[in-house]
Structure 1
């Protein structure tokens, strides 16, 4: 997919209406933040001019949406100097050079600098720069509190340090001209005569000098420096063997019930979890309380969530959430809520240990980072196509429709990657139930009729009244990907027939004609083909068929590729089992 001159399109939007300003803010921040458009004067001045007219919630969501991107320093500055709700997400992941951090620190609020103090990936230069703001950012107790602003004034008066021989531009407080590095408060104060006198008196065991009960600047500086020295001399605690468990977090879902945003704990193990369907007993996922409330779009409280793995978010949680609806249209937009650890009496059964899958967790994090901007592209293109932002020329509406279709195809591929990662990590929730085979096959074949017509491939379905035991969503994905791959590879006029028959061993065999294009790959060698030319999936034929194979195994079936057909072997539901299900 190619998106040409999107920033140029934004330039043509009339920004006078609140909705247009909000849409432009989201688009410019996303394009500039992800390097798809230059961080030029027009983009930054536009963001600065419309910032006050964009709701805080929308600005904060745009900042969160940049997670994982290499945001330019100028955009980091604009967002980091905004409200702390906007600044916090960016400051947690922004990657800047030491000089860029040095230039930014004085412009940040104390709350914003406090966020940076919790990062462990910043260089010593940046950390020393943060330390130099201690007298401003930290509230001191007792007599020191009253004199803290005075101590800060020492740092803010570089002219008291050795004077320059010629007039020059005023340097940034606390930064040396040679290296641009921050100096600590004590290092700057040592060059002051009054501090030298205080240090001499301290060495001579003399009492601190005071005038009328008011401490001098030197006394305050000496105390702060002594405190820092004691802290540096204390032994560092040894690293803990594992991360401590967190006690609470907040979350939001999309309209499908998928958790898309997490704050307060590690995200990787929770992002992508669905509250729309209950998990199997003792498996990662939610219980029936959350799933039932989701179907009714109702509030729920203390629903159980089990998170697998061995990180800080693993274990059992109790979730409480409220449904959200769009104020203008009344459309359901998802859930927002929080989760907490259960008390001893609320968790009677221990949570079984689930083996961690770091690679799968990383892949799910990548899926989340891809899904967020793709959803934004799809939503914005739909707004243009429907002229929600004002009249649009037909040519631009056609381009928006193409962008929307491409974005939805990309979202489908992203979902496939997400499912593959869940299968690999053993975190895919499955709820087997009896499913009639014939109606399912006819429905999916009808869904693919446009692809079949474009290939000129008839798709006859021959199926008896058979029933299989499988998870509905998993079976739909298996059959749709298998049929789509076969139809997409068919030559013009080639028939792709579908047969469903009972077989020995209490199973149902669903076979799909193997396209002639697969003859170049004998046996199951087609599984190892990684191409990107399949009209059925952006991920290619090999990935789609491997997903079919792995999902089929997950629901208790098998998948084999023969010379003439590709066949699914699924567990069947006998008549007595159907009767038992109906009676229960």
Structure 2
């Protein structure tokens, strides 16, 4: 699309405006998915077209795309326009914290003053703005002053531009000309931003940095780590609950204006900067007046003997998932509880329509609760799950009967026939009963979700003696995934054609990964074959035990 637009050189002002709008819209919506070469060419084309597009149109375009302005290089280009255009983009752009931190150093004082008025920026971005100081900001000038500066600027016209006689409409509104050097500098900045953004090589962990605070205890200068990770933190107040900040030792010493020795500091940010630090600092005073001016100190990573009992670092991803689960469960339980009160008319009579809504809320809450349980199971399974205890035995036949009953409503809704035969006598498996239910339920639910109307889902539960001594649940691949590779099926973003509109929120890839993780935790596996998906679980069939003991006794 971009190549087609750039291949047609604008022959008139109207064509240039159309190209500006098209390129801006494509970059705003799909910039993160385009090849880097296309992005560079499109941004350069926008910088060249800007003098030919009236300010009003550029401003209207910025307002239109600001709501989905999530592509940082495009936001940077609009931020370097006149204040009216810059403000239209920066007041509505929604970037990630990392993108804001990368963009701020490339913005001018006016753009920063616009951002300073926003209250919805990420915390690190607000700290970075505060660290840059009021001297790096400027109030937007009134329109008269902008017009005077435009009139004072030397006019720069491209050599191949048509004459004013052939384009009388170009003088309807004042246009800020962009010199080639400005365009080149903007493109260089965007190239540097893209290079830093796509850099995949891990950086070595930081081991030391210097810092300085003001008399209020806020860190305002740092050397050795990025400013956004430290600037704005306070050593005058203790941080609790794992929040970024320092411990009570530092806060107590600050109140006494005493030396701080080996206090703890927690940081957020990139992996090489986040985590625990130890710092020491000395107060300093104005030599002329004796007035307290703050602290100057140095921070380092803790030594091995300073970590209690050599405790390993916690799994950040697992911790964040568990925290998310905790934060989801509390309001969900409250909503479900109130809905049950309404449905049961515990506080008095309730109309039928309200009871019906309450019943639907209870059902939806149960569905979300099941998803949360799956997320928690996945988080636990990813942490080297232990094998089941010797007494953990699950009857897979009984579990399968229960799952078939639970799926009856979904099967009827999607008009899918489920046919699972049994081969063998006993279907006992060495697995935790709850995990076995989750494995079988999640596997069958995911396959029903991607089966088209009128389809038949066929499989077998097999407990015959076999190499490896496993109980197997085999399910023939539905048509939607008949030719999908194992890598595609395990990709959380994979969405097969024909997937039911009401399919589960958790993707097929997530469900299969969860089943495989739980199966490995029980000593089994999920096999993705050419024709079927097979869940293997260690058998606990007494007949197999007897078969194994017989040869040894002869």
* TM-score over 0.5 for the pair: no
With structure 2 as the length reference, what TM-score do the two structures score? 0.41
With structure 1 as the length reference, what TM-score do the two structures score? 0.39
